[in-house]
C-alpha cells in the first residue's frame, strides 16, 4: 500500500500536535510535579516488561516464519528457566509499582498538609497557608478569601511559594476543580466539603477549569489563576477591595443563578459565615441548614428533648 496520498497530512498533523499543551508534563507547582514524576516512574517500570515482550513477539514472528529453517521440536513443552523468566519479571514489576503507588498515594493525599515548598525546601515555621474557599456555581467559579475578607468570580490569585489550603464545595451539582499546573483535580459536591493542599513555585498566569461535566454551561467554567509575588498579591487584594461591592446572602443568591460567560468580578467584603451557609445549603433564610438537621438527628438518637437540643445547639449559650 502506497503512503503517498497521506504525505500531505503530515504537516497538518505536526501543526495540530504543536498546539497541544504540555502543562501536565511541565507543571509549576510542587504537588503537580510529584504527580508527574509518579506517572513517569510508573510508565518506565511498565516499559521494562512491555518493551522486551513487544521485541520478542516481533523476533519470534520473524525467526519462526514459514520460510525460516528453525529447529522443529514438537515434543518440547516445559523449561524451568523460561518459566522463571516469564513470571518473575512481571511479579517484580508489580511489587515495585505497588510500593511506589502506596507511598505516593499517602504522600500526595489532597487532604494532607504540605511539608515542603519544593524538593529540598521545607516550609518555614512562620509561613501559614493561604486559605481559599472555592464554590462551583452554574456555571462560574466563586473564590472566597476569609483572611483577606474578599471574594472573586472567575479569577483567583495566590503568592508564589506559599502553601494554599483549598476548601471546596458546590452549590447545586457535582463538579471538579482542576488547575493542571498546580495539582490534580478534586471533586466538588453540594452539602460536602473536599480539600486540596498545594503550592505554586513559579510566577505567571495559569488556567483552571471544571473537569466534570455539569450541564449546558460546562464549557465556560474556566478561570484565571495568577501566581504572584507577595507584594503583587497584596496589590491584587487591595484592587479587589476597591470594587466596593459586598457579597452577602442576597447578592450570593443572585450570583448563584445559572449563567454563562460571566465576567471577572471582585467583592470588597464578604458576609460572615457565608461559606458555611453555602456548604450547609442554607443561604436562603427559609431553608434549614444541613448541620442543624444533623444535630437534631443526633439529639433525637440520644433521647434528648427539644429544649435540651436548643441548649446544646451551636451558639445557644450566647
Task: Provide mean pLDDT across the span 48-60.
Answer: 91
Q: Which three cell numbers stand for residue 276?
A: 458555611
Q: Evaluate whether residue 216 is within a structural domain.
A: yes
Quick: pLDDT tens for 58-92: 998 888 888 888 777 777 778 888 888 888 888 99
pLDDT band for 316, please (50, 70, 90 cuts): very low
Give the domain range for residue 240.
121-300
Q: Which of 291, 294, 292, 249 is nearest to 267 (CA)?
A: 249
pLDDT band for 298, please (50, 70, 90 cuts): confident
Do 29 and 163 meet the contact criterion of CB atoms below 8 Å apart? no
Q: Evaluate whether residue 245 is within a structural domain.
A: yes
Q: Which of 106, 156, 161, 167 is nearest to 128 (CA)?
A: 161
Q: For residues 241 and 274, state if they share a domain.
A: yes
Q: For residues 94 and 220, state if they share a domain.
A: no
Task: Provide mean pLDDT across the span 239-258.
Answer: 93
Calpha distance 251→221 (Å, rounded) = 20
Q: For residues 89-110, b (16+ Cβ closer than 10 Å) or e, as one string?
A: eeeebeeeeeeeeeebeeebeb
Do 140 and 155 meet the contact criterion of CB atoms below 8 Å apart? no
Q: Which three cell numbers stand for residue 213?
A: 461535566
Do 185 and 176 meet the contact criterion of CB atoms below 8 Å apart? yes
Q: For residues 161 and 290, state if they share a domain.
A: yes
Q: Evaluate whether residue 317 is within a structural domain.
A: no
CATH of the domain at 170: 2.60.40.420
pLDDT: which is higher, 154 or 286: 154
Task: Provide mean pLDDT across the span 201-225.
Answer: 93
Calpha distance 301→62 (Å, rounded) = 74
Q: Evaluate whether residue 172 is within a structural domain.
A: yes
Q: Evaluate whether residue 75 is within a structural domain.
A: no
Task: Provide mean pLDDT across the span 186-206.
Answer: 96
Q: Which three cell numbers stand for residue 5?
A: 496520498
Q: For residues 133 and 268, state if they share a domain.
A: yes
Calpha distance 225→207 (Å, rounded) = 6
Q: Evaluate whether residue 237 is within a structural domain.
A: yes
Q: Evaluate whether residue 21 is within a structural domain.
A: no
Quick: pLDDT tens for 110-160: 999 999 999 999 999 999 999 999 999 999 999 999 999 999 999 999 999
Q: For residues 92 and 126, state if they share a domain.
A: no
Domain count, the chain: 2
In Å, what is the CA distance from 2 to each residue of 5, 6, 7, 14? 7, 9, 10, 21
Residue whose C-alpha cell reads 516481533 in the numeric block: 58
* SS3 label, residue 127: coil
Q: For residues 273 and 128, state if they share a domain.
A: yes
pLDDT at res. 302: 75
pLDDT at res. 155: 97
Q: Evaluate whether residue 316 is within a structural domain.
A: no
pLDDT at res. 14: 45
Q: For residues 99 and 148, state if they share a domain.
A: no
Calpha distance 207→155 (Å, rounded) = 10
pLDDT band for 7, please (50, 70, 90 cuts): low
pLDDT band for 308, please (50, 70, 90 cuts): low
pLDDT: which is higher, 33 or 14: 33
Task: Provide mean pLDDT across the span 221-247.
Answer: 95
Q: For residues 134 and 244, state if they share a domain.
A: yes
Q: For residues 143 and 183, state if they share a domain.
A: yes
Q: For residues 288 and 145, state if they share a domain.
A: yes
pLDDT at res. 1: 47
pLDDT: which is higher, 70 or 250: 250
Task: Provide mean pLDDT across the span 195-207.
Answer: 96
Q: For residues 156 and 257, state if they share a domain.
A: yes
Q: Which residues pair with residue 145 across a beta bridge? A: 150
Q: For residues 103 and 131, state if they share a domain.
A: no
Amino acid at each position: 500500500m502506497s503512503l503517498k496520498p497521506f504525505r500531505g497530512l503530515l504537516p497538518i498533523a505536526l501543526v495540530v500536535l504543536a498546539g497541544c499543551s504540555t502543562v501536565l508534563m511541565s507543571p509549576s507547582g510542587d504537588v503537580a510535579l510529584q504527580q508527574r514524576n509518579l506517572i513517569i516512574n510508573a510508565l518506565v517500570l511498565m516499559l521494562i516488561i512491555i518493551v522486551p515482550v513487544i521485541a520478542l513477539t516481533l523476533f519470534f514472528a520473524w525467526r519462526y516464519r514459514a520460510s525460516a529453517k528453525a529447529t522443529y521440536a514438537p515434543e518440547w513443552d516445559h523449561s524451568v528457566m523460561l518459566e522463571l523468566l516469564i513470571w518473575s519479571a512481571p511479579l517484580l514489576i508489580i511489587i515495585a509499582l505497588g510500593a511506589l503507588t502506596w507511598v505516593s498515594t499517602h504522600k500526595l493525599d489532597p487532604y494532607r498538609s504540605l511539608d515542603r515548598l519544593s524538593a529540598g525546601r521545607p516550609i518555614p515555621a512562620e509561613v501559614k497557608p493561604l486559605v481559599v474557599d472555592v464554590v462551583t456555581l452554574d456555571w462560574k467559579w466563586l473564590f472566597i478569601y476569609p483572611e483577606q475578607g474578599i471574594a472573586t468570580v472567575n479569577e483567583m490569585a495566590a503568592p508564589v511559594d506559599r502553601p494554599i489550603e483549598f476548601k471546596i464545595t458546590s452549590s447545586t451539582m457535582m463538579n471538579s476543580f482542576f488547575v493542571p499546573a498546580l495539582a490534580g483535580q478534586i471533586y466538588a459536591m453540594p452539602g460536602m466539603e473536599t480539600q486540596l493542599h498545594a503550592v505554586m513555585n513559579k510566577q505567571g498566569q495559569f488556567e483552571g477549569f471544571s473537569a466534570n461535566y455539569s450541564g449546558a454551561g460546562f464549557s465556560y467554567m474556566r478561570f484565571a489563576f495568577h501566581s504572584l509575588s507577595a507584594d503583587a498579591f497584596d496589590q491584587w487584594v487591595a484592587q479587589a477591595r476597591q470594587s466596593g461591592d459586598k457579597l452577602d446572602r442576597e447578592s450570593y443568591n443572585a450570583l448563584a443563578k445559572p449563567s454563562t460567560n460571566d465576567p471577572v468580578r471582585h467583592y470588597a467584603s464578604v458576609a460572615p459565615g457565608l461559606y458555611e451557609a453555602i456548604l450547609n445549603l442554607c443561604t436562603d433564610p427559609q431553608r434549614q441548614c444541613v448541620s442543624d438537621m444533623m444535630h437534631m438527628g443526633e439529639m433525637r438518637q440520644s433521647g434528648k428533648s427539644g429544649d435540651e437540643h436548643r441548649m446544646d445547639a451551636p451558639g445557644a449559650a450566647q
